Amino acid sequence: MSNTDQPDEQPLPTPAPAPSAVASPDEVTIRRAPKFGVFIVGGAVLGFLATLVVVALTMNLGGQRDQTSFGSLVGYFSLWGVTIGAFVGAVVAVVFDRVYARRSARLTAERVEVELPPETVDGELDEHGDQRP
């Protein structure tokens, strides 16, 4: 009989250890929440646009031509318009947050923590540089 007729005898690989999982129940709250930054910036932009419209409509109401330009009036009054608009946007976001908080739901969720076993490879070097058997 020749050596080619017999199958090579190689050691079977050892199966990898299974990961360990620990499950624990947790109570969670599910609700919608507004993005405050979007409301504040949106309110500031709307405040600027409202200032622009108000200054454009009221610039020549007195019948006399003032020495101030349109740009300087918009610049000055936009300080107030942007500030008030941002404040109103923040108040609207807080109101939405309170409304959504009332509609929240409490549920029980299962938290699963999976701990993977450390992988070892034949011939791998450990931390000190020694070769593992």
pLDDT tens-digit map of 29-40: 888 889 999 999
Q: Determine the average pLDDT of the residues in 45-57.
A: 94
Element (H, E) at 27: strand 20-30
Query: pLDDT-derived band of residue 104, with 50, 70 and 90 as boundaries?
Result: confident
**pLDDT value of residue 50:** 96
Q: How far is CA 73 from the centre of its chain?
A: 39
Q: Determine the average pLDDT of the residues in 109-126.
A: 73
Length of the chain in terms of residues written: 133
Question: CA of 8: how far to CAs of 22, 76, 80, 105, in Å?
Answer: 42, 89, 87, 63
Query: pLDDT-derived band of residue 89, with 50, 70 and 90 as boundaries?
Result: very high
Q: Determine the average pLDDT of the residues in 76-83.
A: 94
**pLDDT value of residue 2:** 56
**pLDDT value of residue 90:** 97
* pLDDT of residue 44 exceeding 90: yes
Question: CA of 36: how far to CAs of 42, 87, 99, 102, 116, in Å?
Answer: 10, 11, 14, 18, 39
Least Cα distance to 59 among 76, 43, 44 occurs for 76
89 burial (CB, 10 Å; 0-12 / 13-18 / 19+) is buried
Q: Determine the average pLDDT of the residues in 39-48.
A: 97
**pLDDT value of residue 110:** 87
